[in-house]
Amino acid sequence: MDIDAVTGELERSAARAVEIAASLGADQSEAAASYGEGLSVTVRMGELESVERQKDRSLGVTVYRDRCKGNASTGDFSAAGIEAAVGKAMSIASFTAQDEYAGLADAELMAADPPDLDLYHPWELDVDAATELALSCENAARAVDSRIANSEGATTTTGAGSSAYANSHGFTGVFPTSSHSMSAIVVAGQNGALERDHWYSAARSAEGLEPPERIGELAATRALRRLDSRQLATRSVPVIFPAELARGLFGHLIAAIRGTSQYRKASFLLDSRGKRVFSELVDIVEDPLIPGAMASAPFDGEGVATARRQLVEDGILNGYVLSSYSARRLGLTTTGNAGGIHNLIVAPTAGPLESMIAECGQAFLVGELLGQGVNIVTGDYSRGAAGFWIENGEIAHAVSEVTVAGNLADMFERIQAIGSDVDVRGAIRCGSVLIDELTIAGQ
């Protein structure tokens, strides 16, 4: 991929769409163009199972006329293709109702000089090399223990591309990105019982990935420790969410403080800005400008400059997650979150997961969550789970077929510790989380 040629074409195409919209009578317009290509190779039980190549590009155009909005998209970047997409967006706008909140983000909020955040690290990987890495990962897993009875496969994935955005304020911005990963899923068996588990690594650069052998070994170890699981009687006990699952707790926070949830009055944290929503231990920062991070961005989906901010301080919520539209609905200013959050960092207050376990007399360590039993409107939380029973600071045995139940508002207030074992593989960066009491429903 000639990334300079790709970014140049994307930038020109987005800008051209905006020019055409103006010539057709749009009051405001914006266009987003993207291109990506990638490779994914999966092996299973020592043999190549699948090879997938991906290559796509798209141009999305949004126009505003008399506060009426229309949008259209195309994969045709020719002059005729762009003109046809803009024409379709204009046609759609003529049929939509006026919306006083519709329009671009304010011009003064545009990213005047977007920084280079070091997000593009292409990996020149062919099918043979990707296959070898996947085989190394799976073979390492299968070699851990004879009880690794089966494999659901190991996968190597690489992808890279670029995105451009332009609007009628005169803003044009473009930045390339890359994302690579390796994963393994294996099955452990003993006495007729089977348990599966996985592990994966993801990073912007190939050098940032964990070694394939370690990924495989971790997947196998995680599957093996789930053997000989037992049920528990219903009880209320401290619960530990390991880092990879604790991210979901803060994902529920974002869903509740997103602008759409607030103006639709569909949130258990309605009108919570300036109020305590967590225990005073919790501090959360959003930092979009971390070089090389998985969720970094110099500007959001509306061209608004991103910036570091303290979202939660001493348990108090300082603001919401807003696009320009939702901000106008609430009488506020956009927070630069059109398109999502950028590197939500939950500050640690304790040691890693191992030390948190060692300090517990009795507790339930969540290993897997099942189902979608989370109601963002009420905060009610009820999910099927499997995991491990902790007794006297040690894992006593695996647990299956239980339900973890509570209410998110209460769960947030009951957070007692946040571990230093921070998971940096996604948009939410946090360690393991200890909640001092939740209901574990079992036998």
Smallest CA-to-CA distance from 54 within 68, 34, 70 is with 34
Output the CA–CA distances (angstroms, integers) from residue 183 to 37, 158, 198, 354, 383, in the order listed: 19, 12, 7, 23, 25
DSSP structural state of residue 276: B
Q: Is the pLDDT of residue 443 over 80?
A: no
Q: What percent of the chain has pLDDT over 70?
A: 100
Number of domains making up the chain: 2
Give the global pTM: 0.93
Q: Confirm whether 312 is domain-assigned.
A: no
Q: Domain of 402?
A: 235-248+348-441
Q: Confirm whether 332 is domain-assigned.
A: no
Render pLDDT for 38-96 as a digit per residue (tens, 0 to 9). Answer: 999 999 999 999 999 999 999 999 999 999 999 999 999 999 999 999 999 999 999 99
The DSSP annotation for 131-152 comes to: HHHHHHHHHHHHTS-TTEEEEE
Q: Are residues 359 and 414 in the same domain?
A: yes
Q: Are residues 162 and 243 in the same domain?
A: no
Q: Rounded mean pLDDT of the chain?
A: 96
Across 8-22, 360-374, 405-419, least confident range: 360-374
Q: Is 90 exposed, middle or buried, given 0-12, 13-18 or 19+ CB atoms closer than 10 A?
A: buried
Q: Are residues 364 and 218 in the same domain?
A: no
Q: Are residues 151 and 239 in the same domain?
A: no
DSSP structural state of residue 385: E
pLDDT score, position 372: 84
pLDDT score, position 149: 87
Q: Confirm whether 327 is domain-assigned.
A: no
**Distance between CA atoms of residues 202 and 244, nearest Å:** 13
Q: Is the pLDDT of residue 1 over 90?
A: no
Q: Confirm whether 43 is domain-assigned.
A: yes
Q: Are residues 127 and 9 in the same domain?
A: yes
Q: Are residues 68 and 209 in the same domain?
A: yes
Q: Confirm whether 421 is domain-assigned.
A: yes
Q: Are residues 93 and 15 in the same domain?
A: yes
Render pLDDT for 121-144 as a digit per residue (tens, 0 to 9). Answer: 999 999 999 999 999 999 999 999
Q: Find the length of the chain.
A: 443
Q: Confirm whether 422 is domain-assigned.
A: yes
User: In this structure, is the dihedral angle defined by the CA atoms of residues 368, 373, 337 and 173, taken in order, positive or negative?
Assistant: positive
CB within 8 A of 93, min separation 6: which ones? 26, 63, 64, 65, 68, 69, 70
Q: Are residues 146 and 169 in the same domain?
A: yes
Q: Are residues 95 and 11 in the same domain?
A: yes
What single-letter amino acid sits at 51? V
Question: For residue 192, what pLDDT band results from cuts at 50, 70 and 90?
Answer: confident
Cα dihedral value 85, 91, 93, 94, nearest 10: 170
pLDDT score, position 93: 96
Q: Are residues 216 and 242 in the same domain?
A: no
Q: Is the pLDDT of residue 239 over 80?
A: yes
